């Protein structure tokens, strides 16, 4: 029922602009991902639209599917859009049939959003959710996607912002942990055979069950949810909270950078140092950590600028292309414990 309420919520937001039996959704993600299920059912099968599924895509296959099936709808993770844009053969494909595109699963870099609009002529809308709550918010079709915004709550969801330690409401305009519930009583109430995790992740407030998302967000004056970072990915540096996603976004805006991962490294004086792992484009030569630091200093607050930048050939990602910061944090922890 929880999945159904999310599907209904997404469908209601887009029902006036996405017609029944007139669209083709290109879905280049595995169906075990909640983003896939939301989009396939809400805007595909539920409306009688065609769905082209490619659970193990490559960039040429996705572009070819859009061209060959006259795809009007496309849903993907941010890394997929970047890979499509970086494909040397992109100009061989006709993407003009696309009408709506959505991104979920990770923060969409501003540089990728801008380049996609320039290339495809349409924006990338946001979908935001989790396994526990399914879809929570989407960008409304008449709204210009704003940087860091993950849209507005769908009609079947309710939200609270609390201080994650005190569990008290935060003042209007300030950031806090997002809690989600539903008027339809479809939010799951816990994890099977895991009472400890259930107690930590679900609260009863005002007579209803709320799920703690673990995401640190802000809700602006236009009721849009501005994603700041996962609580686990916020870096506590010299008394400040540094958003790893924000630093990554700035690094990825550099024309020489193809991917970035930012984590906190334990430090006895600063609490945590800000460390960035960066992948440069293959044809780039002569770009140094100093160049990237300078780029960051011009765009970030002083305490957000990375203390260290390490270049890598690859970064760990999940099966759907989501960056796994946890693995990089674990790697740094192992280095600190190693006697060598």
Q: Which residues pair with 25 in a beta bridge?
A: 51, 73
Level-2 CATH architecture, domain 2-151: 3-Layer(aba) Sandwich (3.40)
Question: How far apart are alpha carbons 165 and 64 in whole angstroms?
Answer: 49
pLDDT at 251: 95
Q: Dihedrals φ, ψ of 39, to 5°?
A: -75, -40
Collapsing DSSP to helix, strand or coil, 26 comes out as: strand
Q: Which residues contact 162 (CB under 8 A, 6 or more apart)?
A: 168, 169, 170, 176, 177, 179
pTM given for the model? 0.78
Question: How far apart are alpha carbons 238 and 267 in whole angstroms?
Answer: 10
The domain limits of the chain are 2-151, 158-228, 238-337
Dig out the tokens for 250 from the structure. Answer: 């700035």
Q: Which residues of 153-190 are buried (b: 16+ CB within 10 A; e: fewer)?
A: bbebbbbbbbebeeeeebeeeebbbbbbbbebebbbee
Q: Which residues contact 69 (CB under 8 A, 6 or more apart)?
A: 24, 26, 50, 52
Pairing of strands 50-53, 24-27: parallel
Nearest Cα to 138, choosing from 106, 111, 104, 113?
104
Taking CA atoms, 227 is separated from 1, 87, 93, 307, 327, in Å, by: 26, 29, 33, 24, 22
Domain 238-337 coded CATH 3.30.300.30: yes
List per-residue pLDDT tens for the chain, 340 residues long.
667 888 888 999 998 999 999 999 999 988 888 899 999 999 999 899 999 998 777 899 999 999 999 999 999 988 889 889 989 999 999 999 999 999 998 888 888 999 999 999 999 999 999 888 889 999 999 888 988 899 999 999 999 999 988 889 999 889 999 999 987 655 677 888 888 888 888 888 888 889 999 899 999 988 999 988 887 788 989 888 898 988 998 999 999 999 999 999 998 888 899 999 999 998 888 999 999 999 999 999 999 999 999 999 999 887 767 788 889 988 988 887 765 5
**Other residues' Cβ atoms within 10 Å of the Cβ of residue 82:** 22
Distance of CA 330 to the CA centre of its chain: 21
Dig out the tokens for 300 from the structure. Answer: 């970030």
Question: How far apart are alpha carbons 131 and 73 in whole angstroms?
Answer: 23
Place of tokens 């780029």: 295
Domain 158-228 coded CATH 3.20.20.150: no
């Amino acid at each position: 029922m929880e999945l159904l309420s999310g599907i209904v919520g997404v469908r209601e937001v887009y029902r006036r602009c996405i017609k029944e039996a007139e669209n083709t959704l290109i879905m280049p993600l595995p169906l075990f991902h909640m983003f896939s299920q939301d989009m396939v059912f809400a805007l595909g099968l539920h409306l009688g639209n065609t769905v082209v599924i490619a659970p193990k895509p490559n960039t040429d296959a996705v572009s070819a599917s859009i061209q060959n099936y006259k795809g009007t709808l496309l849903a993907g993770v941010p890394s997929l859009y970047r890979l499509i844009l970086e494909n040397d053969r992109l100009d061989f494909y006709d993407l003009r049939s696309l009408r709506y595109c959505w991104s979920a699963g990770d923060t969409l870099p501003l540089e990728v959003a801008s380049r996609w609009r320039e290339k495809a002529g349409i924006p990338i809308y946001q979908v935001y959710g989790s396994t526990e709550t399914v879809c929570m918010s989407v960008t409304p079709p008449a709204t210009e996607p704003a940087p860091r915004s993950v849209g507005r709550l769908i009609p079947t969801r309710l939200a609270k912002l609390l201080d994650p330690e005190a569990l008290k409401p935060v003042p209007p305009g300030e950031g806090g942990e997002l809690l989600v519930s539903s008027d339809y009583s479809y939010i799951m109430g816990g994890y099977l055979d895991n009472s400890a995790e259930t107690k930590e992740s679900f609260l009863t407030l005002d007579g209803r069950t709320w799920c703690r998302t673990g995401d640190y967000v802000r809700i602006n004056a236009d009721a849009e949810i501005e994603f700041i970072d996962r609580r686990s990915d916020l870096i506590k540096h010299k008394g400040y909270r540094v958003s790893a996603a924000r630093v990554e976004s700035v690094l990825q805006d550099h024309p020489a950078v193809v991917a970035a991962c930012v984590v906190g490294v334990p430090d006895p004086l600063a609490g945590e140092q800000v460390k960035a792992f960066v992948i440069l484009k293959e044809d780039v030569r002569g770009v140094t950590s100093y160049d990237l630091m300078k780029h960051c200093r011009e765009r970030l607050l002083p305490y957000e600028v990375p203390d260290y930048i390490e270049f890598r050939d690859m970064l760990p990602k999940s099966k759907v292309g989501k960056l796994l910061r946890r693995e990089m944090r674990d790697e740094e922890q192992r280095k600190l414990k190693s006697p060598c």
